[in-house]
Chain A
Amino acid sequence: MNTAPSNSPADSSAGTSTLTTALQMSDVRKVYKMGDGSEVVALDHATLTLGSDEVVALVGPSGSGKTTLCSIAGGILSATEGRIVVGDEDISGHDAKELTKFRQDKVGFVFQSVNLVPFLNARENLLVVDELGKRTGAPAKARADQLLEELGLADRAKNLPSQLSGGQRQRVAIGRALMNDPTLVLFDEPTSALDTKLGEQVMELIRNEMKSRGTAAIVVTHDERITHYCDRSVHIIDGRLEA
């Protein structure tokens, strides 16, 4: 069942050198100013490069800076310092409006609690991305149908999230993340709400989907058991990345 390759940081870094870059974070810092004037460094001189179809596990304990790194890479947060390039777009100096547009076009998100829109069926949850972004209409509908087919959810297209199992909801969320044909997909603890078996199935699906589409992904997790589905693991502790 487990078809994921074994990996190590050493052999994955060798792989990235031959790939187009999906994400390049250079010396990125995120500092929060507190009410009492003190500063909290959430991300400290982080440098990370992802190849175009590379799946990287970002591992670290709670409060280590995983979410901050992910949010900056996805254009949800702005960095205090450093350079962030996703695909061919340097988002380091983007304002809020530009970041919104960037998120519509270049990034896919799968959130920890899946967070599907509860009153929309599976197909409509995928089409939300188009409605919020380019509004292409028919092509988006065709893409949604294709993604649902590929994710094995064609017969569940009309089901509301409440009528789907946990694994099916996770697959819908993955489909939603892929709707805009992103350069980078960010998975926030994708298996945290699933049992071990289902978690493994989802990770296998993530890996297969990313690889088949040539899309890069960061999988945020604190569960070392699933990291072997990724090309490599990057650890983060106290805002610092460790190889």
Chain B
Amino acid sequence: MKLALKELRRRPGRFATATVILTLIAILLMFLGGLLDGLIAISTGAIRAQNADAIVYSDTAQASFVRSRIDPELRAQVEAVDGVSEVGGIGNVQLGARVPGNGPRDLASVALFGYELAPDGVPDAPPYGQAWADESIEADGVEEGMIIEVGPARTPIEIVGFVEDTNFNGQSSLWASPETWRDTLSANRPDAQLGPGVFQALIVRGDGDLPDAIDAATDGATDSYTVDGAVDAIPGVTEQQATFNQIIGVTVAIALVVIGLFFALLTVERTSLYGVLKALGAKSSTIFAGLVAQAVVVTTIAATIAGTLVVLLDVLLPPGSIPLLITPARILLSFGLLLVAAVLGCSFSLRRVLRIDPASAIGTTS
């Protein structure tokens, strides 16, 4: 293995092509992963932020706020379930908002939530007519203290501060009192207005397996999820994940083939040298371990360069321009996938290494 690492150090040019190609693949892998994470983050932040043991929708809602209705009677049934300690209503309406200083058609997309139990990172509901806003709305020119006009009814909402990572369906979230939300919904979506005490969903805290217990207690009138389950159930999220993961999978497969071909060619080129080393007493396992070590080092270098470039790209991109979220976890996952591809790719050469005959070193001139 020392021999292989020395070759890498002294003949870096031989590995430059593979390193460049792998770096490009690693950039693609990390960029795709970052896009997936970014898309998921801006679609699910409002649900992920919920400090809940169960999120309860009505039975036919399919985890959609728009389709869900929880009336006071149903809420009372939920509150009566063993293990339930706190229940808070939540509702949402998605609208366009006029921002002072922007053009009349330059609307900021917002998802206004009315809530009783505050999500993580969001303070208690502000007074009527005010809202906390996700910081992503700053990209639309919104500032603290600014009054924006929401929806066709131009309902005024004063922004009293900013919170992080609470976006929903790709829109900036606004967090307001239930009354503010209910009146905004009635004024801008008259067809969807809800009666007093009616919410779209419930945030439930307590002990035990609450989603199943709640659905059983309401005799199937509710459709309850854990927070993770509710995130996955958001319409479009699973489809987005599946699509991106397939693209990422194909990219990893391409990396595997690239590494496999590169080291297969290298092995063919080195057949004579390996024959000599075997004649001198090298085991096939020693030679193969050297190949794997070289592949791991090349992959590590490629992933390090790619990780640095992707982080730089993330820093340089204007906020809100594309939904890119680069995290250490994503970079490490991409690195891990490339390492697996590298080791598997190298294994294509194992048979060839095993078949190299030390006798080939004798009686040949090259």
Contacts and interface: CB of A to CB of B under 8 A. Distances in A.
Closest 10 CB pairs of A and B: A104-B281, A67-B363, A115-B276, A103-B281, A119-B10, A132-B282, A76-B359, A132-B281, A76-B358, A71-B359
Nearest to A177: B280
Interface residues of B, number: 25
Nearest to B10: A119
Given A117-B273, A120-B6, A128-B3, A76 B279 contact: yes
A23 interface: no
23 contacts: A67-B362, A67-B363, A74-B362, A76-B359, A76-B361, A76-B362, A100-B282, A103-B358, A104-B281, A109-B279, A109-B362, A111-B362, A111-B364, A113-B365, A113-B366, A115-B272, A119-B10, A124-B6, A128-B277, A129-B281, A131-B2, A133-B281, A192-B365
Contacts of A105: 281
B11 interface: yes
B298 to A, nearest CB: 16
A188 interface: yes
Given A66-B363, A111-B362, A132-B281, 12 more contacts: A77-B359, A100-B281, A103-B280, A103-B281, A112-B362, A112-B365, A129-B281, A131-B2, A132-B280, A132-B286, A186-B362, A192-B365
A150 B133 CA distance: 82
B7 interface: yes
Interface of B: 2-3, 6-7, 10-11, 272-273, 276-283, 286, 358-359, 361-366
A164 to B, nearest CB: 16
Contacts of B10: 119
Interface residues of A, number: 32
A188 B362 contact: yes
Contacts of B282: 100, 132
Nearest to A120: B6
Given A128-B3, A132-B286, A115 B361 contact: yes
Contact of B6 (A113, A119, A188): A119
Nearest to A105: B281
B271 to A, nearest CB: 12
